[in-house]
């Protein structure tokens, strides 16, 4: 049984909006807030809060929280290919070591797909190469030429995108 956040009584609670804050309220205190799980009237503060909450959920589900100050070197694909060829190991073997499937490795080496940072770290270790480098605060023009489409999105980009659609 959850606890009413207003009075502390153990009760079946529901999410309510109370003066802009989301609180779990029991029926004891439900009158102080607006229920969040029921559709709120359009344009009401509760409806806006529900929208924000949904958006926040969407945003955190993507892997946008990678190490923010690191970016892939431009020729990361070639470096992976050269590194692997130098070691004389197959993609199958490399894939096992860095937890990537061969089709993925093909795309990495072609520069069509970026490894996850975890995979990149493993590739760097296995192949003794550098794939990620620290990025200095870059001017906007430098951010624009960030590799394949759909990658390199910043939280700012996503926010801008989300807000633009409203």
Alpha-carbon span 117 to 34, nearest angstrom? 42
Which CB sits closer to Zn ion, 30 or 59? 30
- Considering the complex, what minimum distance in angstroms separates the CB of residue 23 from Zn ion? 9
Closest distance to Zn ion from the beta carbon of 52 (Å): 25
What residues make contact with Zn ion under the rule CB under 5 A? 4, 6-7, 9, 26, 28-29
Residue with smaller CB distance to Zn ion, 4 or 132: 4
CA–CA distance, 62 with 59 (Å, rounded to integer): 6
**At its nearest, how many Å lie between Zn ion and the CB of residue 36?**
16
Shortest Å distance, C-beta 28 to Zn ion: 3
* Alpha-carbon span 161 to 165, nearest angstrom: 7
In angstroms, the CA 119 to CA 62 distance is: 17
Q: Which residues, at least 6 apart from 15, have a Cβ–Cβ distance to it below 8 Å?
A: 22, 23, 24, 25, 35, 36, 37
Q: Which is nearer to Zn ion, 14 or 84 (CB)?
A: 14
Q: Tell me whether residue 9 or residue 146 sits nearer to Zn ion (CB atom).
A: 9
């Amino acid at each position: 049984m959850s606890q009413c956040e207003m009075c502390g009584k153990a009760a079946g609670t529901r999410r309510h909006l109370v003066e802009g804050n989301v609180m779990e309220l029991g029926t004891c205190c439900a009158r102080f807030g607006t229920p969040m799980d029921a559709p709120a009237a359009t344009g009401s503060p509760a409806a806006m809060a529900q929208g924000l909450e949904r958006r926040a959920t969407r945003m955190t589900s993507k892997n946008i929280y990678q190490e923010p100050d690191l970016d892939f070197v431009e020729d990361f694909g070639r470096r992976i290919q050269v590194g692997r060829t130098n070691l004389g190991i197959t993609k199958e073997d490399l894939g096992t070591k860095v937890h990537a499937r061969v089709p993925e490795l093909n795309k990495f080496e072609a520069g069509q797909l970026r490894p996850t940072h975890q995979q990149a770290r493993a590739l760097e270790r296995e192949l003794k190469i550098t794939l990620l480098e620290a990025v200095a605060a870059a001017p906007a023009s430098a951010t624009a030429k960030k590799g394949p489409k759909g990658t390199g999105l910043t939280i700012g980009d996503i926010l801008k995108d989300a807000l633009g659609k409203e």
